């Protein structure tokens, strides 16, 4: 694949692909402080649930490597403070908290300053490596859901740059190319910040996957007139009962898919499942700055002072989801099937 990696650990700094500038500018940020990692996550320079977790994990590594002390207890305290700070960067994607918990446990288990520093860096790299393998498995399982010639709709970007590699919802399209299977994708532009128009179309075009861009409001008409065979999206958090949060607009696609009799799939790694969240009502939904809606590329498009509601995610209830594609296979979105995944 030609698609660059979004998070690279290089010479003690994080080299981060600035996703805000894509597709026309490929620029990397060099992050060498925990504050800069926080800002990169909050401002969407890095985004997508697994990539957020990976960036935060390397942020914890930066904390451990840069804080000057010879006292392991003091170092642990500082790294946990920084980990807590990073956990405030975005509220919805549970991969952030999952990755930080993994890092916190490694800190707990480390007994010397040197071993702590070595262990946290090794753990961040492991989280990234595992995610690439997990995404490839998700792609293999998802690919079995589609047939040669299928036209599949997606929203937002659950692609390679939203993960360590391959993506979740986009993974089957990359693997289809490897297997000589022709699938076409209809990508919703994804207002307000256009992850679909800017990132999904770019990734798929880089991989020579047939992709057509539509606005979010064209989804119903496109399903009706373009023989859409399925919808597949990523997730930011899957509750214990299967309700799944993803980019705003996903719920609309789930409702439409049901109405048109089209299967609606969520693709998500186990790191996106959250047993502490019993159902979708308990998933915190991030609300972002009104300027994301009132402005496009810095140019105002709405009257000054207009009231704005800007939720970044919505929740598709389990009963609208045909199946959740995980690295362990495709499961039914219900409490028993989800519990069995982790048994
Ligand atoms: O606000 P974003 O761009 O971080 O939202 C991303 C999504 O909603 C993705 O679909 C989800 O995180 C899965 S990425 C594999």
ipTM greater than cut 0.85:
yes
pLDDT at 199 over 80: yes
| d(C-alpha 335, C-alpha 342), whole Å | 11
From 194, 247, 252, 327, give the residue whose CB has the most ligand 1 atoms within 8 Å, as the site to mutate.
247
pLDDT at 1 over 80: no
* Ligand 1 centroid to residue 228 C-alpha, Å: 22
The response to whether residue 191 sits with its C-beta less than 6 Å from ligand 1 reads no
What's the confidence (pLDDT) of residue 75? 98
Ligand 1, atom 10, residue with closest C-alpha: 234
| d(C-alpha 309, C-alpha 159), whole Å | 27
From 50, 194, 246, give the residue whose CB has the most ligand 1 atoms within 8 Å, as the site to mutate.
246
Report, as an integer, the average pLDDT of 20-44: 98
pLDDT band at 2 (very low <50, low <70, confident <90, very high): confident
Q: Where are the domains of the chain?
A: 7-135, 136-341
Report, as an integer, the average pLDDT of 94-122: 98
Give percent of the chain with pLDDT exceeding 90.
99
pLDDT at 240 over 80: yes
* Ligand 1 centroid to residue 61 C-alpha, Å: 23
pLDDT at 81 over 80: yes
* Ligand 1 centroid to residue 50 C-alpha, Å: 8
* Ligand 1 centroid to residue 180 C-alpha, Å: 28
Q: Name which of 292, 285, 290, 293 is nearest 311 in CA terms.
A: 285
What's the confidence (pLDDT) of residue 107? 98
Would you tell me which CATH number, out of the four given (3.40.50.300, 1.10.10.10, 1.20.120.420, 3.40.50.2300), belongs to the domain 7-135? 1.20.120.420
Give percent of the chain with pLDDT exceeding 70.
100
Angle between helices 113-143 and 94-109 (to 10 degrees): 140
pLDDT band at 119 (very low <50, low <70, confident <90, very high): very high
pLDDT at 163 over 90: yes
pTM over 0.90: yes
pLDDT at 70 over 80: yes
Q: How many CB atoms lie within 10 A of CB 114?
A: 11
pLDDT band at 264 (very low <50, low <70, confident <90, very high): very high
pLDDT digits (tens, 9 = 90+) for 299-327: 999 999 999 999 999 999 999 999 999 99
Which residues does the annotation mark as catalytic? 236
CATH homologous superfamily for 136-341?
Translation initiation factor eif-2b; domain 2 (3.40.50.10470)
SS3 of 10, please? strand
DSSP per residue over 188-200, as a string?
A: E--TTTTHIIIII
Domains 7-135 and 136-341 alike in fold? no
Supply the mean pLDDT for the chain. 98
The CA–CA distances, whole Å, from 95 to 7, 147, 280 equal 15, 31, 16
Bridge partner list, 10:
13
Q: Which residues are documented as binding site for substrate? A: 47-49, 90, 195, 246-247
């Amino acid at each position: 694949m030609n698609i660059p990696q979004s998070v690279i650990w290089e010479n003690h700094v994080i080299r981060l692909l600035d996703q805000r500038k894509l597709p026309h500018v490929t620029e990397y940020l060099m992050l060498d402080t925990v504050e800069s990692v926080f800002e990169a996550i909050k401002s969407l320079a890095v985004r997508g649930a697994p990539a957020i977790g990976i960036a935060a994990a390397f942020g914890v590594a930066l904390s451990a490597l840069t804080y000057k002390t010879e006292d392991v207890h003091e170092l642990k305290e500082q790294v946990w403070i920084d980990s807590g700070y990073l956990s405030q960067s975005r509220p919805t994607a549970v991969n952030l908290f999952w990755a930080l918990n993994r890092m916190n446990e490694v800190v707990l288990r480390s007994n010397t300053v040197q071993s702590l520093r070595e262990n946290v860096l090794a753990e961040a790299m492991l989280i990234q490596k595992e995610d690439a393998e997990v995404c490839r498995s998700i792609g293999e399982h998802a690919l079995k859901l589609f047939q040669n010639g299928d036209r599949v709709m997606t929203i937002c970007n659950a692609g390679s740059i939203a993960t360590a590699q391959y993506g979740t919802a986009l993974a089957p399209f990359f693997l289809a190319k490897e297997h000589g299977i022709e699938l076409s994708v209809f990508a919703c532009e994804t207002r307000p910040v256009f992850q679909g128009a800017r990132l999904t179309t770019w990734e798929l075009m880089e991989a020579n996957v047939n992709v057509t861009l539509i606005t979010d409001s064209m989804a119903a008409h496109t399903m009706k007139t373009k023989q859409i065979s399925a919808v597949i999206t990523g997730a930011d958090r899957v509750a214990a009962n299967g309700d799944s949060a993803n980019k705003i607009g996903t719920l609309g696609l789930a409702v439409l898919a049901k109405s048109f009799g089209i299967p609606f799939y969520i693709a998500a790694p186990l790191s996106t499942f959250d047993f502490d969240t019993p159902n979708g009502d308990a998933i915190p939904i991030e609300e972002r700055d009104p300027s994301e809606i009132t402005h496009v590329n810095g140019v105002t498009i709405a009257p000054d002072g207009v009231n704005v509601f800007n939720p970044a995610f919505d929740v598709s209830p389990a009963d609208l989801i045909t199946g959740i594609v995980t690295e362990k296979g495709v499961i039914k979105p219900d409490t028993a099937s989800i519990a069995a995944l982790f048994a």
